[in-house]
């Protein structure tokens, strides 16, 4: 335990607490800080699994849906931090169920803002994704809306203690919906399906994702989007790392899928600074910030953080070590 840890002595409300990120966040928070975590999710069975693992001394298990503003506000009372990780994130599910995706990802984000302000929660960090940048599918579009809602939610908190921000990062190694479990299953069948051999993606571990959230809790002044400088990977290198020598079949890019991903656009770069290996996209409207915008090194004109032009790529051996 460290007195300087951003969660030390805090009560944390963790929405989507039974997901991949939620499990990693909960484990790290309990290990490193003397804090209480309220796990908020719809799945009571997964909550029971967490209860068996972590007990009830410093974890509270709250069944609820972020679509339910009243329940969310009650869960937020007395909290010092909200980490908002609840979302519908499967691209095909969002495309087939657009009303549900909007209710969860967009209206849910609005409810988080309202609950935080009504309950007087000082810090809110919401998880976003590279899919929110220049979105071409409904999932990305809903997460773009969620980012805007969280960032501009600070205007509703002027005069209040609440400050809200986002973190934005790429694909998480071996999380639910990751291509890693798919490749592992296909390896056993003797053939891997690859959408396009030119494809690149940003790559981050769950540990790094949690660290980025903790960084945001500690450094936010409200309205920033924090983007870690993470490496890229080539899908063919990932295939080789998981299934060396196994036959591959190119099936073509699926609907709503990009060849490459972007985490910071050239337009955002004009109001982005770099500090501690983190890109901080500063809010363009920031009347709630009284002591000046966060400092850092400005980006070059025309810079964009794209998975295909990244200056750091993971090689086959590095990828193999990560997925193993």
Does the pLDDT at position 176 exceed 70? no
Does the pLDDT at position 174 exceed 70? no
Q: pLDDT at position 11, please?
A: 98
In angstroms, the CA 200 to CA 248 distance is: 17
Phi/psi region, residue 241 (left: phi>0; alpha: psi -120 to 50; beta: rest), is alpha
Does the pLDDT at position 177 exceed 90? no
**What's the average model confidence in pLDDT over 182-204?**
93
Which residue(s) pair with 264 in the sheet? Answer: 305
pLDDT band at 178 (very low <50, low <70, confident <90, very high): confident
Judge contact between 101 and 94, C-beta under 8 A: yes
pLDDT tens figures, 99-139: 999 999 999 999 999 999 999 999 999 999 999 999 999 99
Percent above pLDDT 90 for the chain: 87
Q: Based on the residue annotation, tell me whether 10 is a catalytic residue of this protein.
A: no
pLDDT tens figures, 9-22: 999 999 999 999 99
Considering the candidates 10, 89, 131, 258, report the single residue annotated as catalytic.
131
User: At 201, is the secondary structure helix, strand, or coil?
Assistant: strand
Alpha-carbon distances of 112 from 68, 216, 226, 228, rounded to whole Å: 10, 17, 19, 24
Q: pLDDT at position 277, please?
A: 92
Question: Which domains, and CATH codes, for the chain?
Answer: 11-323 (3.40.50.720)
C-alpha closest to that of 82 among 48, 46, 120: 120
pTM: 0.95
**What's the average model confidence in pLDDT over 202-224?**
96
Does the pLDDT at position 256 exceed 90? no
In angstroms, the CA 228 to CA 305 distance is: 10
Phi, psi of 318, rounded to the nearest 5 degrees: -65, -40
pLDDT tens figures, 48-94: 999 999 999 999 999 999 999 999 999 999 999 999 999 999 999 99
Compute how many other C-beta atoms are within 10 angstroms of the C-beta atom of residue 137. Answer: 19
Across the chain, mean pLDDT equals 94
pLDDT tens figures, 131-167: 999 999 999 999 999 999 999 999 999 989 999 999 9
Residues 6+ apart with CB under 8 A from 255: 95, 137
Q: pLDDT at position 3, please?
A: 81
pLDDT tens figures, 270-288: 999 999 999 999 999 888 8
């Amino acid at each position: 335990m460290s007195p300087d840890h951003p969660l030390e002595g805090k009560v944390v409300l963790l929405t989507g607490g039974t997901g991949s990120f939620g499990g990693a966040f909960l484990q790290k928070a309990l290990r490193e800080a003397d804090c209480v975590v309220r796990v908020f999710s719809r799945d009571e069975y997964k909550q029971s699994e967490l209860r068996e693992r972590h007990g009830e001394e410093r974890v509270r298990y709250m069944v609820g849906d972020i679509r339910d503003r009243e329940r969310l506000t009650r869960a937020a009372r007395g909290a010092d931090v909200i980490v908002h990780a609840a979302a519908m994130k499967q691209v095909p599910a969002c495309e087939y169920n657009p009303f549900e995706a909007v209710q969860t990802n967009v209206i849910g984000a609005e409810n988080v803002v309202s609950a935080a302000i009504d309950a007087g929660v000082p810090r809110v960090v919401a998880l976003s994704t590279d899919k929110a940048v220049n979105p071409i599918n409904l999932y990305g579009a809903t997460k773009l809306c969620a980012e805007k809602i969280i960032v501009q939610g600070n205007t509703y908190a002027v005069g209040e203690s609440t400050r809200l921000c986002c973190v934005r990062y790429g694909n998480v190694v071996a999380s639910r919906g990751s291509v890693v479990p798919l490749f592992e299953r296909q390896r056993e069948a003797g053939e891997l399906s690859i959408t396009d051999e030119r494809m690149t993606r940003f790559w981050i571990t769950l540990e790094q994702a949690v660290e980025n959230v903790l960084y945001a809790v500690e450094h936010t002044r409200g309205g920033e989007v924090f983007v870690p400088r993470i490496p890229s990977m080539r899908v063919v290198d990932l295939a080789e790392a998981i299934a060396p020598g196994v036959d591959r079949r190119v099936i073509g890019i699926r609907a709503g899928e990009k060849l490459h991903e972007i985490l910071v656009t050239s337009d955002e770069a004009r109001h982005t600074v770099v500090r501690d290996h983190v890109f901080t996209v500063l809010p363009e409207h920031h009347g709630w910030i009284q002591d000046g915008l966060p400092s850092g090194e400005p980006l070059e004109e025309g810079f964009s953080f794209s998975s295909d032009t990244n200056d750091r790529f993971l090689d086959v051996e590095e990828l193999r070590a990560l997925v193993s």
